[in-house]
Amino acid sequence: MGQPHPPGHPGKGRRFVDGARRWAAAAVAALTLTAGLVATAPQASAAGLTQVTGFGSNPGNLSMYTYAPGTLPAGAPLVIALHGCTQSASDYYNNAGWPKFADRHHFALVFPQTSSANNANSCFNWFQPGDSTRGQGEALSLKQMVDKAVAQYRSDTRRVYITGLSAGGGMTANMLAAYPDVFAGGAIDSGLPAYCANSVSAAYTCMYSPPGRTPAQWGSLVRSAAPAGTASWPRVAIWQGTADTTVVPANATGLRDQWTDVWGIGQTPSRTESLTGGTTLSVYDDPSGRPAVQVYSVSGMAHGLAVDPGSGTEQCGTTGTYYLDTICSSYHTARFWGLDGGGQGGGALPAPTGLTVTSHTDSAVTLKWNAVDGAASYSVHRGGAKVGTATSTSYTDTGLASGTTYGYTVAAVDTTGVAGAVSSAVTATTTGHTPTCHTASNYEHTTAGRAYQSGGYTFAKGSGQAMGLWNAFTTHTLQQTSPGSYVLADSGCPA
């Protein structure tokens, strides 16, 4: 699904491929069919989707489809969702689960669509400089869609987000880098670091064996793509399956290094959490204690988008080719962005003051704060995601892991349900610790935050023990001896 297509003529409508380019196109098609893909994408026609025309000069030759709840207030957020190769706007609309949360939390959706006129496999051209640079080609068409949707839905320009799968994820990373003044946040699902490639051959290198750049080198690709003087960056969620052989897990590590470097916060997670579907969440907080980067590593998941069909609050989507039954990524991404009623603090109420931790046990943390005039309630956030609502000025968060550090913020909510500014963060560490054992490849350990890589070699986090080459073939067992610290336990793990 991440397969690129050889360059055509960017930004000029239909792209023609001849001579050597036709040979390359055939090779890509063969690889695509080997992976079990279909080389054409149906046009969007799902009920609920509306095609929008006349959204700008459209130099990237893309199509625009939108979805919005029937009662959408002015000032609501806007989410742009980019499909993967061989997919379409309707395919993503029907399977990814985003409409469920648009209805629940009241925001608008835009589903851009490319076609075989742009790319033989209907991929967004994330590896084409003429399509992924600010003000050019497909990138400009996507920006024009944002402008059109903001005007049409009277969206809050401070709460515009973008997400994408595979090639759509690669384009998402590029858009976040090129337009940090447009997007408050993004989610890159089984995707590539921003500007990892600028040619077909480089695209394959990135997908299967990404270059070993330092965090500063990855970050410089973002800084050089952004407008001069940019000082505010989007908050980025990174989703990756540990068994992905199309876009290998090292890409998630590159993405983490890239965006943590841009934020200037280092590559050691502030904390990790275990979620459903075998998912490990690693959180990287900004200096104020709010999550700036989150990495979701889904154990055993192959290439695709994580969904979890069902009617539960945390469930979404339908399974299909490249929609994999593990965990609802759209639910967790929406929470990370604060689309569930908090996070960005767009309301008029001031931030609560005096947030403190009054008690903590091995599984619970109790908070208190000062009252805010005009507040009807308060939203409580753990790791940037809303975990509860309080009508008083205290809250107890339960069901926590022992020996784990959590970060909390609180926002006052007015009588219309709009959250105000977010408080300063506090941290709390639950008591006790239960050692755990983890057997995985060095790539998987690194992606999950149990190890780190330096100079092509892997080292256990905390102990610094050498684990050998940084690849997907070397396997070790690590024992967690304390929160955030691991030792080698290949000869037997007593936990």
* Least confident piece of the model among 156-160, 322-326, 367-371, 491-495: 491-495
What's the average model confidence in pLDDT over 308-335? 96
Can you tell me the distance from the alpha carbon of 319 to that of 277, in angstroms, rounded to the nearest whole number?
14
pLDDT computed for residue 50 by the predictor: 95
pLDDT computed for residue 348 by the predictor: 64
Please state the φ and ψ torsions of residue 91, each to the nearest 5 degrees: -60, -45
Residue 35 has pLDDT above 50, yes or no: no
CA atoms within 13 A on the CB side of 33: 8
- CA-based R_g, the chain, Å: 22
pLDDT computed for residue 32 by the predictor: 33
Residue position matching structure tokens 């993405």 = 255
Can you tell me the distance from the alpha carbon of 342 to that of 159, in angstroms, rounded to the nearest whole number?
11
Structure tokens at 243: 């068994």
In percent, the amount of the chain with pLDDT more than 90 equals 65
Q: So where are the chain's domains?
A: 20-337, 356-429, 436-488
The DSSP bridge partners found for residue 189 are 165, 239
pLDDT tens-digit readout, 159-215: 999 999 999 999 999 999 999 999 999 999 999 999 999 998 899 999 999 999 999
Residue 36 has pLDDT above 70, yes or no: no
Residue 25 has pLDDT above 70, yes or no: no
pLDDT tens-digit readout, 77-99: 999 999 999 999 999 999 999 99
Can you tell me the distance from the alpha carbon of 10 to that of 221, in angstroms, rounded to the nearest whole number?
21
Please state the φ and ψ torsions of residue 223, each to the nearest 5 degrees: -60, -35
pLDDT computed for residue 258 by the predictor: 98
Catalytic residue set: 166
The rounded mean pLDDT for the chain is 86
pLDDT computed for residue 340 by the predictor: 82
pLDDT computed for residue 40 by the predictor: 31
- Give the closest residue to 216 by CA, choosing from 262, 170, 269, 284: 262
Structure tokens at 369: 């704060």
- Give the closest residue to 357 by CA, choosing from 302, 316, 394: 394
pLDDT tens-digit readout, 414-467: 877 777 777 877 888 888 877 789 999 998 998 888 998 887 889 998 888 899
Dihedral sign of CA atoms 50, 51, 54, 55 in order: positive
**pTM reported for the whole predicted model:** 0.69
Residue 482 has pLDDT above 60, yes or no: yes
pLDDT tens-digit readout, 131-157: 999 999 999 999 999 999 999 999 999
Can you tell me the distance from the alpha carbon of 367 to that of 409, in angstroms, rounded to the nearest whole number?
10
pLDDT tens-digit readout, 349-373: 788 999 999 999 988 999 999 999 9
The model's confidence at residue 384, banded by pLDDT at 50, 70 and 90, is low
What's the average model confidence in pLDDT over 404-419? 81
pLDDT tens-digit readout, 205-252: 999 999 999 999 999 999 999 999 999 999 999 999 999 999 999 999
pLDDT computed for residue 495 by the predictor: 63
Residue position matching structure tokens 């992606």 = 447
* Residue with more model confidence, 491 or 226: 226
Indicate the CATH number for domain 356-429: 2.60.40.10
pLDDT computed for residue 431 by the predictor: 87
Tell me the fold of 20-337.
Answer: Rossmann fold (3.40.50)
Please state the φ and ψ torsions of residue 395, each to the nearest 5 degrees: -160, 140
Can you tell me the distance from the alpha carbon of 44 to that of 64, in angstroms, rounded to the nearest whole number?
10
Q: Could you write out the three-class secondary structure of the chain? A: CCCCCCCCCCCCCCCCCCCHHHHHHHHHHHHHHHCCCCCCCCCCCCCCCEEECCCCCCCCCCEEEEECCCCCCCCCCEEEEECCCCCCHHHHHHHCCHHHHHHHHCCEEEEEECCCCCCCCCCCCCCCHHHHCCCCHHHHHHHHHHHHHHHHHCCCCCCEEEEEECHHHHHHHHHHHHCCCCCCEEEEECCCCCCCCCCHHHHHHHHHCCCCCCHHHHHHHHHHHCCCCCCCCCEEEEEEECCCCCCCCHHHHHHHHHHHHHHCCCCCCCEEEEECCCEEEEEEECCCCCEEEEEEEECCCCCCEEEECCCCCCCECCCECCEEECCCHHHHHHHHHCCCCCCCCCCCCCCCCCCEEEEECCCCEEEECCCCCCCCEEEEEECCEEEEEECCCEEEECCCCCCCEEEEEEEEECCCCCEEEECCCEEEECCCCCCEEEEEEHHHHHHCCCEEEECCEEEECECCCEEEECCCCCEEEEEEEECCEEEECCCCCCC
